Amino acid sequence: MCNFFKRTFHHPPRGRAATGPDRGQAGPLVCMAKVRHSHPLLFCVLVFMRHENDPCPFIAQGRWDGGILERSEGEFGFGYDPVFGVASHHCSAAQLSLEVKNSLSHRGKALALLKHALFETSVV
């Protein structure tokens, strides 16, 4: 699994930014200030292999387009959810219910595709 945030901001900042009022998100917000106008993408790729030499594994990919918010919003989720903007719902990922987040997120989409493929081919 790979996403824009983890790849770009793998190491959180140290010092004052990491000890601000939002602790968990203050550091990433400082880092992201320079790329605020970029278009973050989250990707998830799931692979199901029937055995270690499976010549045709099931591969499912999910993608979630978003934006970087100016401040942390929401109490749910983890990681960058409070600063990952979801334009279709005009909120952060941390403000979405679990059901809605799973239908929109890169992980939820990849899992739904994999589940569909496995049931369609009677693997499960």
> 29-51: per-residue pLDDT in tens?
555 555 555 678 899 999 999 99
Report which residue type is found at 91.
C
pLDDT tens digits, 86-120: 999 999 999 999 999 999 999 999 999 999 999 99
Average pLDDT over residues 72-84: 90
**pLDDT the model gives residue 34:** 55
- pLDDT category, 19, cuts 50, 70, 90? very low
pLDDT tens digits, 57-71: 999 999 999 998 988
Range of the domain at 56: 2-120
- pTM of structure: 0.69
27, pLDDT greater than 90: no
Looking at the structure of the chain, the number of domains it has is: 1
State whether residue 60 is helix, strand or coil: strand
Measured CA to CA in angstroms, residue 117 lies from 32, 55, 70, 106 at distances of 37, 16, 39, 17
CATH code of the domain containing 100: 3.90.950.10
DSSP state of 22: T
Residue with tokens 């790979």: 2
